[in-house]
Amino acid sequence: MIYDPTSQRQLYVRLMEELKRRRNVIADVIMSKFSLPQAIAVELCYLQFRMICELIALACLTAHGDIPPTRSGKVRKEYRPGTILTALESLHPDFYPFPSRQVLDPTTGKVLRVERIHADYLTKDELIALWTECGNVLHRGSMNNIERPFIVDFKRIAEWDAKITRFLSHHQIQLFDERYQLWVIMQAHDDGKVRATLMRKTLPSSGG
């Protein structure tokens, strides 16, 4: 497979657009826009969470297509986030996206700087934990535990949703080539679409 950075960024954007649609379903359930039995509403949210976890893992794999082993082999056939993320971490320890925020000029609205967010977002370990939690919710169970009570906890769903939103709204990905990062905004101001831009670090001038 030949690496094409432009097509890889386009694929990343498509994955994020799908993720947004799924996250919107969760938001609608939280705001009671659907008339559903509570158990079905919970399951609908966790189905979206499961797909979102898988989309994030696949998006990470897409973003790091500049690393040759990501373009062939078993990892291309994998869907489990834990396996994909572990493989990526072995190739590039700083592979996982990190959230950031734009600081705007209160008068002009122009971006003054971008600050990294350090807390209350979906970490790599939490993503794997959420995917596992989804599996527990979405299986009916065996005869040994068929009488277990079904837990309806929309507060927990809202907390997971907030972590995902904080994580992805404006995020950056450090590529294997340390000179480059992928900067992603999920809701562009002009049309509300996902934007992904390849950024190159500015090197200090060597003037005397």
Render pLDDT for 110-164 as a digit per residue (tens, 0 to 9).
888 999 999 999 999 999 999 999 998 998 777 777 777 778 899 999 999 999 9
Render pLDDT for 155-186 as a digit per residue (tens, 0 to 9).
999 999 999 999 999 999 999 999 999 999 99
Distance, in Å, from the CA atom of 132 to the CA atom of 127, rounded to the nearest integer, reads 9
Q: Distances in Å between the alpha carbon of 190 and those of 10, 21, 187?
A: 18, 18, 9
Report the pLDDT value the prediction gives residue 105, as an integer from 0 to 100: 85
Check whether 57 has a pLDDT greater than 70.
yes
Q: Angle at CA 109, nearest 5°, toward 107 and 115? A: 115
59 — pLDDT class (breaks 50, 70, 90): very high
What is the arithmetic mean of pLDDT over 99-115? 89
Half-sphere exposure of 98 (CA within 13 A, CB side): 13
Percent of the chain past pLDDT 70, that is, above it, reads: 96
Q: Which residue has the higher pLDDT, 4 or 193?
A: 193
Check whether 5 has a pLDDT greater than 90.
no
90 — pLDDT class (breaks 50, 70, 90): very high
